[in-house]
Amino acid sequence: MSNSRSLSQSQSETQSEFQTESHNPALSAELLFRPYALTGTLTLQSRLVMPAMARGFSPGGVPGPDVAAYYRRRAESGVGLIITEGAVIDHPSAVSETSVPAMYGEAALDGWAEVVRQVHEAGGRIFPQLWHMGMARPAGSQPHPEAPSIGPSGLDLSGSPAGEPMTEAQIEDVVRSYARAAAEAKRIGFDGVELQGAHGYLIDQFLWERTNKRTDRYGGDLTARARFAVDVIQAIRAETGPDFPIAIRLSQWKQSDYTARPWQTPEELGEFLNLLAEAGVDLFHCSTRRFHEPEFEGSTLNLAGWAKKLTGKPVVTVGSVGLDNEFLNAYQGRGAGSVGLDELLQRLENGEFDLVAVGRALLADPEWPRKIREGRKDELKAFDPAALGELY
Ligand SMILES: Cc1cc2nc3c(=O)[nH]c(=O)nc-3n(C[C@H](O)[C@H](O)[C@H](O)COP(=O)(O)O)c2cc1C
């Protein structure tokens, strides 16, 4: 593969770079505030990314002025790249709630155009996260209760039949919807798009053996299971041109299974990621619950670190940055306290990853970047799950 890097080269670099667990306490948070040229046409004001966080504050799928102000505040404080909450593509089975923003329809697109304008005015850049839930959508959900839930094999995340296996015609239809959403995003000023390919939603359901039992060209070995994602990426690339940045979010873990590991070895991961890179991905956003956990034995690299080694592409790390527990606690009503950034900064300095996504800490405190930069750690707001019910 043209842009893949040899595994032995990667492993030897890994060993020499990450021999020790010790951190240099002198590293400054200023490392997070160096600009980053993501592509030839897109430079970010900092290394900080706000990852997609579903908020459900867009009645009828339309993001309003409160949503624009919410994202603007994070850009003003120093976030380089905002990835919006999952924005649904134009397909009746894509989503399960009416308050999730849409990436189609005049009213929703006008709302997004204002979000983009405000984030740009504040110095930030912004991608929508394009989302289709697939079989993670409960049957009969709003806003289209009549539409069946669909997925690669009609199996829910536990592997039980719960909906309809997608026909080839349905696959083509959904691929076109992704491409249309990306084209609309580009038209209204977004700086790129991110595909939700993680956490057990539609794209991930094709990637994962438990939910993809197809025997046609979309199922079987790793290459066949990647074909749906590759089709989506290629369709977006064809629709948006060579320079429009395309990111994809990927995770080993699923909503239903935190121990799932579709990629058991660096070789498998590399083979898969390079299929996506060749199809047109510019940025891999590697979703882990704790950024400091090694992905494979024999190296301290996390999933993002491996993705960078194996593809040479820019990567985002995420998972418990600045916080003392991982994000699924939030759904059990648990808060999180602040912790230091020494290990994160050391890994960033080592070149393990390029960008750092900060989820709950930024949701709780829009001023997180500014306070970190100015050393005002005592003023950081702890993450309280009550913050999920508000948009500020
Ligand atoms: C309220 C909430 C909603 C989320 N919604 C999404 C989503 O729509 N898409 C996605 O890829 N991840 C979503 N996530 C995961 C976050 O993007 C992030 O990966 C996770 O919170 C870990 O980062 P943190 O430890 O810094 O919070 C969500 C997380 C939270 C807390």
In this structure, is residue 205 part of a structural domain? yes
Inter-CA distances, 331 with 3, 255, 270, 334, 336, Å:
40, 12, 32, 7, 12
CA distance 190 to 244: 9
For residue 360, give the ligand 1 atom closest to its CA: 27
Residue 320 Cα: closest atom of ligand 1: 25
Q: Is 220 exposed, middle or buried (0-12, 13-18, 19+ CB in 10 A)?
A: middle
For residue 356, being part of any structural domain is answered with yes
- How many whole angstroms from 199 Cα to the centroid of ligand 1? 10
How many domains, the chain? 1
The answer to whether the CB of 86 is under 6 A from ligand 1 is: yes
CA distances from 350 to 137, 284, 304, 319, 320 (A): 40, 18, 13, 18, 19
Q: Give the pLDDT confidence score for residue 23 in this predicted structure.
A: 58
Distance of CA 146 to the CA centre of its chain: 29
Q: Tell whether 391 is covered by a domain.
A: no
The answer, yes or no, to whether residue 148 has pLDDT greater than 60, is yes
In this model, does residue 8 exceed pLDDT 90? no
Its pTM stands at 0.94
Q: Is the CB of 318 under 6 A from ligand 1?
A: yes
Residues counted in the chain: 392
Task: Please tell me whether residue 88 adopts helix, strand or coil conformation.
Answer: strand
Tens of pLDDT, residues 305-323: 999 999 999 999 999 999 9
* 336 close to ligand 1 (CB < 6 Angstrom): no
Residues classed as catalytic: 201
Q: Specify the CATH number for the domain of residue 129.
A: 3.20.20.70
Q: Is the CB of 194 under 6 A from ligand 1?
A: no
Residue 236 resides in a domain: yes
Helix (DSSP H) and strand (DSSP E) numbers for the chain: 12, 12
pLDDT of 236 higher than 90: yes
Q: Is 320 in the pocket of ligand 1 (CB under 6 A)?
A: yes
Q: Is the CB of 286 under 6 A from ligand 1?
A: no
Domain annotation covers residue 67: yes
The proportion of the chain whose per-residue pLDDT surpasses 70, expressed as a percent, equals 93
Taking the centre of ligand 1 as the mean of its atom positions, its distance from the CA of residue 281, in whole angstroms, is 21
Which SS3 state, helix, strand or coil, does residue 232 take? helix
Contact yes or no for 152/219 (Cβ under 8 A)? yes
The first and second tokens of residue 16, run together, are 């020499």
Distance in Å from the first CA to the final CA of the chain: 46
Nearest protein CA to atom 11 of ligand 1, as residue: 52
Torsion angle in degrees (nearest 10) through CA of 319, 373, 346, 315: 50
Average pLDDT, the chain: 93
Radius of gyration (Cα) for the chain, nearest Å? 20
Query: Is the sign of the CA dihedral 279, 285, 288, 293 positive or negative?
Result: positive
Q: How confident is the model at residue 243 (pLDDT cuts 50, 70, 90)?
A: very high
Mean pLDDT of 265-293: 97
Establish if 221 belongs to a structural domain: yes
From the CB of 319, is ligand 1 less than 6 Å away?
A: yes
What does the pLDDT look like over 28-76, one tens digit per residue? 999 999 999 999 999 999 999 999 999 999 999 999 999 999 999 999 9
Sign of CA dihedral 51, 55, 61, 66: negative
Q: Which atom of ligand 1 is nearest to the CA of 199?
A: 11
How far apart are the C-alpha atoms of 247 and 215, rounded to whole Å?
28
Rounded to an integer, the average pLDDT of 85-103 is 98
Q: Backbone phi, then psi, for 246, in 5-degree steps?
A: -120, 120
Domain for residue 113, yes or no? yes
Q: How far is the CA of 330 from the centre of ligand 1 (A)?
A: 10
Taking the C-alpha atoms of residue 91 and residue 221, their distance in angstroms, rounded to an integer, is 28
Exposed e or buried b per residue across 53-70, where buried means at least 16 C-beta atoms within 10 angstroms of its C-beta: bbbebbeebbbbeebbeb
Ligand 1 atom closest to the Cα of residue 198 is 11
Does residue 128 lie within any of the structural domains?
yes
- Domain around 161: 7-377
CA separation for the pair 168, 155 (Å, rounded): 17
- Pull the structure tokens for residue 207: 């990637």
17 by Cβ neighbours in 10 Å (0-12 / 13-18 / 19+) ranks as middle
